[in-house]
Amino acid sequence: MRLEYFQLIDRIVELDLTGRTIRTEATVPKTSTIFEGHFPGYPLMPGVLLIECMAQTSGWLIVALNRFERMPFLAAVKEAKLRTFVTPGQVLSGTAQLKHDGSGYAMTQARLEIGDKTVCEATLTFSVTPFPNPEMAQQMRETAKTIDFPLLGAPANG
């Protein structure tokens, strides 16, 4: 996890296109410039980044379901609950399930856990559009390789 670069997923642990679920994992870095301000003397992972982490977990699921042909952009966050503090060095397990695959949009239910304790949860809505340019699509594929994305080059219904 590199907070400053919005790289909030270390690896994809499990991807189930039939069940339309995903599990991810990420370790909060022990040091980050973000912790210098949030908060001085008491470093906590910002809540907005926890929501972003849930969005990225959901996003990789939607990318997979769309065979890397479409990109999800976060559009709405509902019923977000941030239940516990997250501190440097902790390991976050992310899960997301597709609730609805609409025309040009998708909704997921996502959560982060540390061990068996729920850290946060939310219902997320995404606008799902063709990639705005080929460079971004390629960049997503390159990033996918670095996080053990399991389906690159495989049939999409696997």
Partner 1 sequence: MSSTFDTIANIIAETCDIPRESIKPESHAINDLGIDSLDFLDIAFAIDKAFGIKLPLEQWTQEVNDGKATTDQYFVLKNLSARIDELVAAKGA
Nearer to partner 1, 15 or 61 (CB): 61
Closer CB to partner 1, residue 75 or residue 140? 75
Residue 156 touching partner 1 (CB under 8 A) = no
Q: Any catalytic annotation for residue 38?
A: yes
Rounded distance, CA 139 to CA 147, Å? 13
Residue placing its CB nearer to partner 1 in the complex, 105 or 131 = 105
How many residues belong to the site for partner 1 (CB under 8 A)? 10
Q: How far apart are the C-alpha atoms of 103 and 89, rounded to whole Å?
A: 39
**C-beta of 72: minimal distance to partner 1 in Å?**
13
From the CB of 117, what's the least distance to partner 1, in Å? 30
Mark 102-127 as b/e (b = at least 16 C-beta within 10 Å): eeebbbbbbbbbeeeeebbbbbbbbe
Residue corresponding to tokens 């210098």:
36
DSSP-H helix ranges across 18-152 = 34-37, 47-65, 134-146
Of residues 79 through 118, those in contact with partner 1 by CB under 8 A are 100-105, 107
Interacting residues with partner 1 (CB under 8 A):
75-76, 100-105, 107, 125
